[in-house]
Amino acid sequence: MKDLLLKPDSYGKTPLIDFKATGHLAIEGRSIIENVHDHYQPALDWINNPENSFPAELKLTVKLEYFNTRSSKMILNILKSLETVHHSRKSKVSVTWLYGEDDRDMFEAGNDYQSVVKLPFNIQALVQN
């Protein structure tokens, strides 16, 4: 199992996706791209690869400033794929959803995802100085 690193583009339209074979997974930044499939599909392929040997725990941290509707569907697909991994007992999966303390939209998005997927979810405000 190899690490997956998808760097954000220079325009700030795609998020960083950093999935480590050690089990530390991160999605960070902004996701306002139209063709989300090109950017997110490698992450889905990484999770859904039947040859992967996952570590005992996978910990996804999501720290997004903003995402569009198309991106929200891909994020849900990632969470659903991780839910499958979790419920098949291949790895214990948990999600930490980080949002700016004044960002009501991202707080609500985290709550929405938490209500849809059956994964341990920690929604946490980032205190801004």
pLDDT in tens, 75-101: 999 999 999 999 998 899 999 999 999
pLDDT value of residue 31: 97
71 Cβ contact partners less than 8 Å away, ≥ 6 residues apart: 15, 31, 32, 33, 36, 40
Q: Which domain holds residue 48?
A: 4-126
pLDDT tens readout for residues 29-55: 999 998 999 999 999 999 999 888 899
What is the pLDDT of the chain when averaged over all its residues? 95
Overall number of domains in the chain: 1
Instruction: Supply the CATH number for residue 94's domain.
Output: 3.30.750.24
Global pTM reads: 0.95
How, if at all, do strands 24-31 and 16-19 pair? Answer: antiparallel
